[in-house]
Structure 1
C-alpha cells in the first residue's frame, strides 16, 4: 500500500485566508487575527481549508435579521411550513390545495420588507383565499376580518343542497 505524504505547507506572517491573517506560526498551530478583530488559533492542518474565520462568519450567516424569536418570524415560518411541508398538519388546507409562497417571500428579510412587523392582535390573511402568499394578496388582519374572509366549507355547501345534511342527516 502506498502512502501519499503531503508536502509541508509554507505559512508566513501576513498570509491571508478568507477572514484570517497570520500573525505568528508556532509548531502545529497558526495564530491569526480575524477581520472582526478577534485573535484566533488554527491547527496547521486546517489552514487554508475549512477554517475561514474565528467563528464570526458562521454567526453572521445564522443571524442576519435578529428576529428569529419574534411573532413576525414565527408567522413567516408557519406560512412556509403549511405551504411546502407535506408533514405539516395544515398542509392539506394550504400546499395540498395549491397555495404557495411567492419566491420573493421564501427569504424572511423580503417578507419583512413587504409586510412589516406583525401588529399585536393580528395574523396574516390572504385576501383571495384561493390565491397564494404574495405581495398584494396578503395583509395583517384581525380575527373578525379573518372570520369574514374564510372559504366555504363543504358542510355549508351541503346545507344549501340538503338542509338535513349539515347536521349529518339527523333531526
Structure 2
C-alpha cells in the first residue's frame, strides 16, 4: 500500500508529532500537533520522515546536550506508550506540565542549567513533572526517592544497607 492511499489515524505518533484528525486516502496533508504545542499540516509524502514542526531545528544552543535530552526523554517517557519506560511514567499517570511540554526554553528557565553530576528528580514520585515538584539531585539522593513497591521482596544487609541476594527455593 502506498503512503498516499493509507489511513493515518488520529493519535498516531511519529517523532514529536501527534495526528490531530484521521487522514483518509486522497487527502494531501496530515494535521498534527508537535510536542512543543505547534499545530501544523504535514504533507503526506513527508509523514514518517518529518520528526517535528521544525522546533527541533530552531537554534537555542542546547540541541544534543545532556539537559536537552533530559527534557526530551522526560516528555517521551510520559507521552509515548512505545517508550521502554512508559509503564513507570505515562503508564501510571505521570504527566509533564503544559509549560514544559510546550518548550525546552521554558523548562530551562524554570530548572536552570543541569549541575554536573546531577539528574532530574521528582520530589513526589507519584506527582507530575512541574517546577514545584522537580529538582536536580545526585544519584544517592535520587536512589532513595523511589516508590516503596520498587523494593518489595528485597532484603537489606543491616550493616551495609545493600540488597541481599534473593533466597533460592529448594
Q: What TM-score does the superposition give when structure 1 sets the normalisation length?
A: 0.56
Unaligned runs of 5+ residues in structure 2 are 1-52, 156-164
Q: What TM-score does the superposition give when structure 2 sets the normalisation length?
A: 0.57
Alignment counterpart, residue 132 of structure 2, candidates 136, 139, 155? 136
User: What secondary structure is seen at the aligned counterpart in 1 of 2:64?
Assistant: coil
| Other-structure match for 2:61 | 66
Q: Counterparts of 1:59 and 1:109 in 2: how far apart (Å)?
A: 15
Is 1:78 paired with 2:73?
yes
Q: CA shift at 1:147, angstroms?
A: 1.0
Q: CA shift at 1:69, angstroms?
A: 1.6
Q: RCO higher in 1 or 2 (8 Å CA, sep ≥ 6)?
A: 2
Q: 1:98 and 1:121, CA in 2 relative to 1: closer, same or farther beyond 3 A?
A: same
Q: Deviations over 1:61-81 (max 9, x none)?
A: 832412112111010011011
Q: CA shift at 1:148, angstroms?
A: 1.1
Q: Select the structure of larger CA radius of gyration.
A: 1
Is 1:111 paired with 2:107?
yes
Q: Deviations over 1:16-35 (max 9, x none)?
A: xxxxxxxxxxxxxxxxxxxx
Q: 1:150 and 1:110, CA in 2 relative to 1: closer, same or farther beyond 3 A?
A: same
Q: Counterparts of 2:118 and 2:62 in 1: how far apart (Å)?
A: 18
Unaligned runs of 5+ residues in structure 1 are 1-57, 161-165
Q: CA shift at 1:153, angstroms?
A: 2.6
Q: Counterparts of 1:71 and 1:62 in 2: how far apart (Å)?
A: 17
CA RMSD of aligned residues (A): 2.6
